[in-house]
Structure 1
Amino acid sequence: MRILLIEDDRLIGDGIKAGLTKMGFSVDWFADGKTGRQAIASAPYDAIVLDLSLPGMDGMDILRDWRKSGHDEPVLILTARDALEQRVAGLQQGADDYLCKPFALAEVAARLQALIRRRHGRLMPKLTYGHVTLEPATMTVTSHGEAVLLKPKELAILELFLHNVGRVLPRPLIEEKLYNWDEEVSSNALEVHIHHLRRKLGNDFIRTVHGVGYTLGEIK
């Protein structure tokens, strides 16, 4: 899942990006309000972490501008403004959740996962398709009831497919969800990840739709 992070505090921003990346998220981080506001149109983000006190443009103004422009990506406000009226104002302007500093990274990740689930119409945290189950909170995977060890990119691809059961996902979309702007991607990287997933979860678990992309195989 690809996350847009707008946070001007270098220590906090670096910690969030590093921590979420280890959990399998792809994170684009911007420290300036105006640049962050424009970034939403540059990639298919699954959720956004937005600070309010930003240089260039206040986070509340950014949120208001996004919603007026029709952007409906889930937004988690992360800020030191903890007064009740400020929390209410953020929610009224279109925020989906609100978390005050200081915070625990695990809670940030859990709230993002909840927002993404709701966006995809899923109420239960567990993602299951056939013999494969993914627990997003712990990023653990089982196949036929047995634990399977996946690398971060493999986890990210699996979660993307499990959120899009029945859809054929084009290669460019998968790559946009999988990699942030800081990462250099080799031409066959996606094929390598798909190969590893098939080896670990079954050759028929992910099906190639030639000339289009990939989709989950039929449940047997």
Structure 2
Amino acid sequence: MTTSPSLSRPTRFWLVFATLGALSFDPAVADAEVAGDGLRLAHRELLVLEMLMRRAEWVLMRAAVEKAVYGYDDQIASNILDAHISRLRQKLEAVGRAWAIL
């Protein structure tokens, strides 16, 4: 994800369907599913999920995830990314999937 000089929000340049095991993400319609069952995720949770899925085999720096999820002008509380990841974990566990998001 990159940020346009005239905009403060991240813009997408990857509009490719992603799958990781039973988890799938379609950025064209901002939709995530586990084994065909839809996940109800907030916008920022979807952005976190997309970033983590696209780089599943890498260890990501916190700053890289924040840059992908938030615009330059966003006021970010110190624990907001932790809150998004926590809710994402809960929602994945609720559908019977316990992926490790560290």
- Which band: TM-score by shorter chain? 0.7 to 0.9
CA deviation after TM superposition for structure 1 residue 163, in Å: 1.1
Greater helix content: 1
Q: 1:182 aligns with which of 66, 73, 97?
A: 73
Q: Larger C-alpha radius of gyration, 1 or 2?
A: 1
Deviation readout 1:41-84 (Å, 9 max, x if unpaired): xxxxxxxxxxxxxxxxxxxxxxxxxxxxxxxxxxxxxxxxxxxx
Q: In the TM superposition, what are the counterparts of 1:32-181 in structure 2 within 5 Å?
A: 112-114=13-15, 125-181=16-72
Which AA in structure 1 matches 2:101? Answer: R
Aligned match of 1:204: 98
User: Distance in 2 between the 1:147 and 1:174 partners?
Assistant: 24
Which AA in structure 2 matches 1:113? Answer: W
The runs of 5 or more residues in structure 1 that have no matched partner are 8-12, 28-108, 115-124, 209-220
User: Distance in 2 between the 1:187 and 1:175 partners?
Assistant: 11
User: Distance in 2 between the 1:201 and 1:181 partners?
Assistant: 29
Does structure 2 retain, via aligned residues, the 8 Å contact 1:132–1:142?
A: yes
Paired residue secondary structure (1:142):
strand
Aligned match of 2:3: 4
Paired residue secondary structure (2:14):
helix
Does structure 2 retain, via aligned residues, the 8 Å contact 1:127–1:162?
A: yes
Paired residue secondary structure (2:33):
strand
CA deviation after TM superposition for structure 1 residue 185, in Å: 0.7
- Computed over aligned residues only, the root mean square deviation of the Cα atoms, in angstroms, reads 2.1
Structure-1-length-normalised TM-score: 0.41
Structure-2-length-normalised TM-score: 0.82
Which AA in structure 1 matches 2:40? Answer: L
The runs of 5 or more residues in structure 2 that have no matched partner are none
C-alpha change, 1:173 and 1:6, in structure 2 (3 Å) is closer
Q: Which has the higher contact order (CA 8 A, sep 6+)?
A: 2
Which AA in structure 1 matches 2:30? Answer: M
Does structure 2 retain, via aligned residues, the 8 Å contact 1:140–1:147?
A: yes
CA deviation after TM superposition for structure 1 residue 181, in Å: 1.6
Paired residue secondary structure (2:83):
helix
Identity of aligned residues (%): 26
